[in-house]
Every structure is written in structure tokens, then in C-alpha cells.
Structure 1
Amino acid sequence: MSAIAEETIQPCPECGSEIRGDSRFTLWCTACDWNVDPAAPQPEAGRLERAGRELARRHGEQLLAEMLSGSDARPRRDASAVAATVLAAAVHGITVALAVGGAWCLVAGWGGAGIVAGLVLLALAWLLAPRPGRLPEGRPVLLRADAPELFALVDDVARAVGTPSVHAIVVNGSINAAVTTYGIRGRRLLVLGMPLWEILTPEERIALLGHELAHYANGDLRNGLVVGSAVRSLTVWHDIIRPLPQPSGLELIVNALYVLPRLLIGGLLVLLLRLTSRAGIRAEYLADRLAARTASTPAAVGLMDRLLVAESLGVWLRTEANRAALRGPRSSRNAADRADELWERLTAYVASIPEHEYERQRRAGARRGHQVDATHPPTHLRRASLLAGQPEAADAADAAAVTPEAHKGDLIAAELATARTEVARRLLRGALDD
């Protein structure tokens, strides 16, 4: 996709209004919304994905109405949260029962049959047992000594949202960001998608950090040890008893035996989603508000607009990878130069996206209910929540809790230089991270 605007003027086939647009993007009519969303919606991954998105949409609308009416939206433990914790504990109880049963079978022996049964039960318990997260392999990992200025910025944002900072930062090729934990001690990890980081303004980067770190402060049950690991266990069970493809006669019988347990496990997963969805959506709204308070409302809203074009950026990156593959291997020096140039071309492309394309994405997103994923409320509702609330730091930059400093931005860029080159090389090889 070229970064050079190509203006096109034509009448709207529906209402006759003049359409002015950039031929690189979808031409649409602002007067009647003709062609505002020409692409067919992408099919969902499955029943659980559809259920999660529907719950996020419904609870997103309900909570937005409550927040705009002045109701208290702070995180709280309600009956659903308690029920989710009890259900998750029961799931873990099954894992414990498998381990105890396996140990008992090993001790009993039963002429060798007990040993086989015990090993099987212990293997299942080991497979389903909650495990601490680990640092991702094959991705640049930054510790405090590697990037002191970046960590100083993250520390400032963490203080602004009222939570301890992170212990490590992983840089990957996703058009996203996230927080999680790793290790037995539950150390905090920030995952930064370099394509997203590169296209944001300094203020929007602070809003991104504020939103992600706010999840630690909000205590989202779905990210907690008890409920989060129970969801993982149920997901593993659900995958283990997936029907066998192209089954033979005996495998048909096995598939038939899988039906009832799979329905039960799927039902438990949907129930956990239902019990935790409202609290999770509330946490997302609160994270947006903390992001606005930390960076400013315009910065938080601008971040959401960037997320709306994430799919287009993914297409752009895959196109660049295809072009790199057609050029074939070159010297390592040229490869490094092309990697660094990728970010320049990406930022130039994003800077060339006209406002009418962002407006089209906003209107199309409202029609489709665009969501970052099944755990987030629809983006247009998040945007409406921010714009309807009290503007944060809209008029004076010094009113924001954290403000960018140009010279520190240059230092942070230098600290990220090696990681951004490595990520760019992966992207040029077609390795776009999810």
C-alpha cells in the first residue's frame, strides 16, 4: 500500500452526494453511509468465542448506561464473582482428585492394573494442573538494566494508576499490548507489540501503558490465579476430547463417547465466561478511564482509533513480508537496513491515513460491534464512555498525570533499537505475532 494520498471524487450512487476520498481506502458516503462497511464480517472461531463476544457486547452496553447515569463503576466482588471463584475451585478440586486417585492406584497396585491406571491419572493431573507463566522464548526480553528509561516511564505510569510496576518487558510483533505474570512468585510482565508502539504518539503510548497497568489495579478475576487457571484447565479438557477427524468404525464410538463430556465442559466454560464477563468489562472501562487520567482523554481516544485500523496494519505488514520474500536473501547489512526501514514506512503509512478512513472504521465498528477480542466491550462503546465522561487533561498538557519528555523519548528509542530491529526481521519473514 502506498503512503501517497490519491484523491478521488465521485457522486454517491445512493443519495448523489459528492464523495471525496483517497482511492487507497474504501470510498464511502458520509451523508448516507453507502459502502461504509463493504467487507463481510469475519466468522467467529467457535461457539465459545461467539458466547464471549455476545456477553461482552451485552454487558458493555449495560455498564456504559450505568456509568453515564453516575452509578459507581468501581470493581467489586458481587455474587457472580463469588460463584465464579467457587466454580473454579471445584475445577481445581477435580485436578486434585485425579492426583490423589492416581497416587492411591499406584500404592494399591492391583496386580499391575492399578499402576497403569495410577500413571494415567497422574499424567492427567499433571497436564491439567495450574502452572506459572514463563517468559516467552524467541522474543526480546528487557530487564531494568537493559532499558532504564523505558522502565522509568512504566514506573511513572504505574504510580499514576496506583499499582506496582513490572519486572520485565517482552517486545513482539503483535499490534497489541498486554500484561501478565510469570514465575512461581508471580512477577509482572508487560508485553509490548512493536508495530503498535511505533505508530502511537508519545501521549498515546502513555495511555497504552496506563490501560494495561490498570488491569493489575482493577483485579480482573479472569487474570487471577484461581479463575484464570481454571479457564485454562477447562480449555485443555475441551481440546483433549475434541472429536477425531475422519473417524474409523472404532473412532466413531469414541467420538460418540466424547459428546456428553465435551458438552459438559463447554457448558462450564460458558458459565465461567458468563460469571466473570460483567466484572471483566467493568475492569476494561475502568482501565480506559485510568488511561485517560494518566495521559489525557484525547490520547486514550486516539489509542482506540489506532486499534480500529489494526487489521489494515496487519495486511500492510504481510504485504511487506511478501515483498521481502520476492526480493530474496541479501547481505546481513542490507537485512538490518530493511528491518529499520520497515518502521519508517509503517509510520509514514499510518500518518497518511486520512481522517475519513478513521471515521469509516468508527461507523463500521459500531455496526459490527468491533472488539479487540472477546474479553473487551465493543470499541465504539469504550470510545463513547471516554467522550461522555469528564475530559481528562484535554486543555492543558500539564494536567495529565504523566507527560512525555522529548529527550527521554529518544533515550527510550535507543534502548529499544536492538529489539525493534529483531522484531522487524521476524515480521519481514512473515512472523506476525498474535
Structure 2
Amino acid sequence: MGEGVIVRTVEEKSQSCPECGAAISADSRFVVWCGACDWNVDPQEPQRDRDRLDRARRALARRHGERLLTEFTAGGRPRARRDAASLLAFAIGLAVHGVTLALAFGGLWWLVRGWGGVGMLPGLLLLVAAWSLRPRAARLPEAVPALLREDAPEFYALVDEVAGVVGTRGIDRVVVDGGVNASVVAHGVRGRRLLVLGLPLWEVLTAQQRIALLGHELAHYSNGDTRHGLVVSAAYRSLTTWHYYFVPIEDPSVVEMVVNLFYAVPRLLLLGVLTLLDHLTLRAAQRAEYLADRETARAASTEAAVGLMDRLLVAGSVEVVLRREANRAALTGPRGARTAEAGGDEIWERLGAHMASIPENEYERQRRVGARRGHSVDSTHPPTHLRRTCLLVGPSLPAAVVTNEDRERRIAAELAGARATVGRDIVRDGFGD
């Protein structure tokens, strides 16, 4: 452990459960609870989604997740498929893009018809609307370290090996950021694949759990997820943009109240289409998540896939540690600035030490809280406890992709520059700022 790393004393507490009288022994840094009767297992009120659409997504995700879990555990082998709902979603996506195209052609017609006069104004307005609502591919993250294949051949080779196991091709580019997450997105007309690797998440995973993380993200491309398709995903972004344009004006004047009233009908119409797309694509997206989890277990082992789920349950601890370290550096003034400029490597050592010290009973508490609340990575994923249950059904799978200490050292050396840069940014600028 590097010089200056703070080791916090862990105080063990023993007491009797006030509900059932069972003996409780807990780490003082975490919630004290009873494993026998679930006393105090979830002391905080769950945060409610402010957005009505997001609440509806989560409720629907839980229902679909439970039904699909029943299918997966009933002995069958559900596969990715194009059902009637997926085809209808694809048709709606084409219709959305058709409206945008009609705006563009209408704008050109008015522009030519009214050339040189006031008649050009409607054409210009229609063209501006069409441009703002055009289908957009995923945007590349800006101002984050990028790793090209020639910069990180060992890391790319690992990704290629995992991709081969899950039945797809590798990635074209990697960017590393400070998020507690990872994702693979297609961008550009050619559909080039970009891996966005959140270094805080990568740092707290074991070698096999990292393979599981890569396998899960890449498996989305081999499981027919309609929502990740170019047509539907771009249509969804267009509809979200349209809906944003019709958001009511807050604290309106008399004139703005009239505008809000005028906006009500198109806003409700757009909300209805967005909700319909959610209903049509969510089941296929959830099936793809379960299938991706199975591919993850095949690539990295069932044990690593389940371990990844558990790490995601305690992701809040990662955020707490990073914020604490950033705040500590800010309070130390010039010394904190020197620490940041020195590379910020200590933040990763402290994070690793904290995550390694989380006791098993805290993981169990988080699993029970997740089951109560329906915890999921986001509003489109099946609840995490259902995904975990699905992985544990049936025989445990061995890893198809394994690594060793020498390969891990080479990958770590390739990521060292990004590690220092992201750590320095978190210490200097704050986590999540």
C-alpha cells in the first residue's frame, strides 16, 4: 500500500436484535441489521424516480423480469428473436424517421417555392426542425483518455478473445472515464464499436470479474436487442428530443400558460409513443440482458458473473470513497493540489483497500435490499436479484477465457496512463462534477 494511504480502524460491534433477540455482529462502518429477521435491513426510504416515464419503466421491467426468469428457469432455452412487438417497434422507428424526412423535404419545397421572399421563412423553420430532430448516432465522449489498438494490444487481445466466445466481433476504440459503469455503443454510419470503460468499476473487480464485465457488454451484439438497433435507438433519441421541446414552461406568465396549453396535446402524444416503444422493446431488451448474463458466465465462469452482480450492488460504496477522497484533497489546499498533480494513484489504492474490506454480511444485506426494492442497473434492466438467481440456476459454468498474472501486469501497464489521468481528475476536480 502506497505512502500516505489511510488505514481505517474497523470496530466490530456485538448486540442482540431488538426484534428477535438473535446475536448481531457487524462492522461499524455499515448498517447494523439482523440476518435472522431482517430487522433494519433497509433503514433508508428508497428514492422514487421523479420522472413518471422512468417509474413506469421500472415497474414494467420488474414484471417482465419475473416472467422471463420463470421461462429461463423452467428448463427451456429462450433465445433472442424478432417477435411481433419488435417488428412493430421497428415500424414505429421507421415512421419517426419518415416524419423527420418529410419535414426536410417540406422545408426544401417551401424554400424553393418562396425563394427571395417571405415564403422562404416556413422552409427555413422546417429545415431547422428537421435538422434538430435528425437521427443521431451515439455521441463520442469528449475530453477522456482514449486507447487505440496500437496503444493497448494486450487489452484489445483480451477483448477480442472474449468477443469470440460470446459470438461477436471486438471493438474499434476504447475510452476510459471516471464513471462507475461500462458500456459498448455503436457510432457513425459504419457502426464502429466504442467501449466506454469506467475506471472506478474496473479497479474494484477481480481479473475474472473484468472478463465478465467485457463479456456482458459485448454479448448485447449477439442477442438481438431491438432497443440497441440503429433504427429504434435513433428513433428513441429523436422522440426524446421532441418531447423535450414541449416540456411545460415553469412559473409561466399568462402568455406562457397559453403556450403550455398549446403544448399539452403534442406532449401527451409524444409521451404515448415513447411509452409504447418502451412496452414494445422492453421485453426483448430484458431477454437480451438474461442472455448476455449467460454468455458472461460462459466466458468468465458463473462465479465471476455472480461476483460482478454483487459488486454492482455495492457500487454506492465506490462513489462514497471517491467523493470522500476528492473532498479530502480539496480541504488540504496546496498539498491536495500536489497530490493530484503527482498522479492521484493513491485514490485507487484507498478504493481497493476499502472494497476489499467490505464484509460478506454487507453484501448479503444489499442483496436483500435489492430484492425488496427491485434494484436494477437502470430502468431498462431486469432487477439485479432476478439476474443473479437466473445465473445460479443449473450447473456452474467454468471460464472459457482465463488470464494470468503476467497478462494482468501487461494490461495494467497499458492502462497506467489512463489510470493516472482519471485519478488526477477525480482528486483535482471532484467525483461526478
1:408 aligns with 2:391: no
Change in CA separation of 1:3 and 1:148 when aligned onto 2, cut-off 3 Å: farther
TM-score by length of 2: 0.96
> Aligned pair in 2 of structure 1 residues 63, 3: CA closer, same or farther (>3 Å)?
farther
Change in 2 beyond 3 A, CA 1:2/1:121: farther
Runs of 4+ in 1 over 6 A off after TM superposition: none
Residue 430 of structure 1, CA deviation? 4.7
- Asked if the contact 2:202/2:210 (under 8 Å) is kept, the reply is yes
Q: CA deviation at 1:12?
A: 0.8
User: AA paired with 2:104?
Assistant: A
Q: What residue in structure 2 maps to residue 339 of structure 1?
A: 344
Aligned match of 1:366: 371
Note if 1:127 corresponds to 2:132: yes
State the SS of the aligned residue for 1:170.
strand
- Where structure 2 has 5 or more consecutive residues not aligned to the other structure, the ranges are 1-5
Q: Which sections of structure 1, spanning at least 5 residues, go unmatched?
A: 394-399
- Is the CA contact (8 Å cut-off) linking 2:329 and 2:336 kept in structure 1? no
In 2, the alpha carbon distance for the partners of 1:427 and 1:284 equals 31
- The corresponding residue for 1:386 is 391
| Residue of structure 2 in register with 1:217 after alignment | 222
Deviations 1:30-66 (A, max 9, x none): 0100000011111213011111111111110000001
For residues 105 and 370 of structure 1, the distance between their equivalents in structure 2, rounded to whole angstroms, comes to 51
1:13 and 2:12 correspond: no
Offset of residue 323 of structure 1? 1.0
CA distance in 2, matches of 1:134, 1:46: 24
Calculate percent identity across the aligned residue pairs.
60
Is 1:105 the equivalent of 2:107?
A: no
- Name the residue aligned to 1:305: 310
Match of 1:198 in 2: 203
Q: Cα offset for 1:321?
A: 1.3
Q: Counterpart of 1:417?
A: 416
Residue of 236, 240, 255 corresponding to 1:231: 236
Amino acid at match of 1:131: R
Deviation at 1:121, TM superposition (A): 0.7
- Secondary structure of 1:112's aligned partner: coil
Post-superposition shift, 1:140? 0.7
**Counterpart for residue 356 of structure 2:** 351
Contact persistence 1:102–1:122 (CA under 8 A): yes
Q: Report the more deviating stretch, 218-227 or 269-278.
A: 218-227
Alpha-carbon separation, structure 2, partners of 1:3 and 1:285: 39
Query: What is the rounded CA distance, in whole Å, between the counterparts of 2:16 and 2:147 in structure 1?
Result: 53
1:204 aligned partner, one-letter code: Q
How many angstroms does 1:134 deviate by? 3.8
Alignment partners' CA distance in 1, 2:48 and 2:140: 32
Question: What are the superposed Cα offsets for residues 286-315 of structure 1, whole Å, 9 maximum, x if unpaired?
Answer: 111100000100100000000001122212
Deviation per CA, 1:227-253: give whole Å up to 9, x if none: 000000000011111111111111110
**What residue is the counterpart of 1:397 in the other structure?**
none
Shift of 1:349: 0.1
1:244 counterpart letter in structure 2 = I
Matched, 1:426 2:409: no
Structure 2 residue 295 is the aligned partner of structure 1 residue 290: yes
Pick one of 316, 321, 325 that aligns with 2:326: 321
Q: Over the residues paired in the alignment, what is the CA RMSD in angstroms?
A: 1.6
Of residues 153, 157, 169, the one that matches 2:158 is: 153
Whole-Å Cα distance in 2 between the matches of residues 2 and 126 of structure 1? 55
Cα separation, 1, equivalents of 2:243 and 2:257: 18
Deviations 1:133-164 (A, max 9, x none): 34311111111011111001101101111101
Conserved? CA contact 1:171–1:194, under 8 Å: yes
Query: Is contact 1:108–1:114 with CA below 8 Å preserved after alignment?
Result: yes
- The letter of the residue matching 1:418 is G
Q: TM-score, normalised by structure 1?
A: 0.96
